[in-house]
Amino acid sequence: MGLIYGYDIYLRPGNVARVLTRLAALAAPRAPAAPPLDVTLPGGERLLLPFTSHLASEPVDCSTSSTLELDMSLLFDVDDALRQYAQARGSEPEADGRMRIGYIYATIRFASVLHPGYTSVECWAASSGMSRLFAQSANVRQAFTDLTAACGGVCCLFDTGDGAPEQVCWLNGEPVRETVSGPRFPDWQALVATWSDSEQ
């Protein structure tokens, strides 16, 4: 079994449209004939996104669903880790100098496992090589923490998906480097209790 690393963003449900719109702004260019994905969110708001869901473009109605699955190709500013990853695959930067990485698979859980009052946006690498890139690239980490900040998220975690302690890389408006099961956050309850509006 390969590595499956990802970044998990936690935010209030009212900010889901904002995070999806911000992800769309990071999307790599698609073929002109590729249709947008028509998504209806639980509250009835509709978005057109430059992604697929389960590798298809049929409309997705989440009004009675607990999750939304997306397949994404995103653009990142180039750093050494991204350059090496691209060179190993024969990829070239886009015209604006950013590097296309995909597929990145996203699962949006409208009521997260950690706290049902929050939505989680879980962005997973599709391969072991991409997982290593997620771990090594400062610009990939920055993109996900910037996304967390821009959409009002309270927490961003780097998750190795293999039982190792998750790394907290954004918390309540500040970049941090802590682990869950570490001295500051001995367990998940201790982490969630620090979220700036966890009692609202």
CB burial class (10 A; 0-12, 13-18, 19+) of residue 82?
buried
Which stretches of the chain are DSSP H helices?
16-25, 80-88, 128-136, 138-150, 188-193
* Contact predicate 21/15, CB 8 Å: no
- Average pLDDT for 106-127: 96
pLDDT tier at 1 (50, 70, 90 boundaries)? Answer: low
What pLDDT score was predicted for residue 200?
Answer: 44
Instruction: Kindly state the tokens that stand for 147.
Output: 């996304």
pTM of the predicted structure, to 2 decimals: 0.94
Instruction: Kindly state the tokens that stand for 101.
Output: 């990485």
What percent of the chain lies above the pLDDT cut of 90? 83
- Before 7, cis peptide (omega within 30)? no
Please say if the pLDDT value at position 199 is more than 60. Answer: no
- Average pLDDT for 168-191: 93
pLDDT tier at 197 (50, 70, 90 boundaries)? Answer: low
- Average pLDDT for 76-92: 94
Low-confidence winner among 47-61, 70-84, 89-103, 145-159 (lowest mean pLDDT)? 89-103
Please report how many Cα atoms fall inside a 13 Å half-sphere around the Cα of residue 41, on the Cβ side.
Answer: 20
- Average pLDDT for 145-168: 90
User: How, if at all, do strands 6-11 and 46-49 pair?
Assistant: unpaired
